[in-house]
Structure 1
């Protein structure tokens, strides 16, 4: 059975602007306005899901989606680094940050390693094609790290490729296929086409 998974990254918030390891912070006024403006561009179809973080839930709501919260779409658990800015952590823990960036199995922050994130996201993705799946089409608002992990898993890329994928706020990434064989359409922005 072919499955279609459309992943939308959440709108901008203050933590993203500050390069802060986000925990569960809300959208800011600008992010909410951007999401509302993009609502008309959201493709229709399938079961609407949202990651459990506030930024995902608020983006889904601003996009006009009635989304079920999906725990498997939770953001990357960076434990001890949550809420801190990347430059602060790099200055205080340069060896740990180098390890985190260079070794996909490292988790110097005490949370999930990159390998763990890709495995968790991959397990969720593969479950969508199973006999117990609630459908064949899914539209989910998920943290950018989860979107990147889904692409890494779907294309069977080495975990290090995660660091080479950029996911802008309010971008749509589509995966279609079935367990073990996925095609990817990357990062279409959810913006209205120019008038004229």
Structure 2
């Protein structure tokens, strides 16, 4: 049986608008309004899960989804000491660390985790899915990237090649070992 996983990225927050590493902030007014306007645009799922972040749980609620679990495998990238700061800010403070982190998926942010670690745990979650019909997962953009890396069989270095705008949906269909990817577009107002 085929599984369908709809990966929905969160609506906008102040840190997302600043292109800062997530610092746990809530949806901004415009992001919450866009998510509420898109409520009902997704086919009724068999299950709803989220990343454990505030913005993903708030996006799910605004979309009218009753989110169940927040599996730890679906957490966003732990940016460690870079949390809440922009890439420009951390690059100015420690350009060598940023260059290593961007060039090598196995290099972790100081006090955080590596892109390879995110890709591994998201792949594990996807591979453990049992056919359950349509699953909607409201997840951090880096979780969508990691899922796309796994589904396409791309190397972890391809992680940065996937752009995930706010409040978009990417669909994976298939099963362990063979996934198809339907690249997403914005959720439309219902």
> Deviation string for 1:58-81 (max 9, x for gaps)?
000000000013222111111111
Taking structure 1 as the reference length, what is the TM-score of the superposition? 0.92
Taking structure 2 as the reference length, what is the TM-score of the superposition? 0.95
Structure 1 unmatched runs, 5+: none
Structure 2 unmatched runs, 5+: none
Does residue 1:152 correspond to 2:149, yes or no? yes
Aligned counterparts of 2:160 and 2:111: Cα–Cα separation in 1: 20
Aligned to 1:88: 89
For the Cα contact (< 8 Å) 1:23–1:53, is it kept in 2?
no
Question: What is the aligned length?
Answer: 189
Aligned to 2:24: 24
Aligned counterparts of 2:76 and 2:109: Cα–Cα separation in 1: 17
For the Cα contact (< 8 Å) 2:2–2:133, is it kept in 1?
yes
Runs of 4+ in structure 1 deviating by more than 6 angstroms, as ranges, are none
> Deviation string for 1:12-67 (max 9, x for gaps)?
11001111100311101111001001113222222011111000000000000000
Shift of 1:137: 2.3
For the Cα contact (< 8 Å) 2:171–2:182, is it kept in 1?
yes
2:138 aligns with one of 141, 155, 170: 141
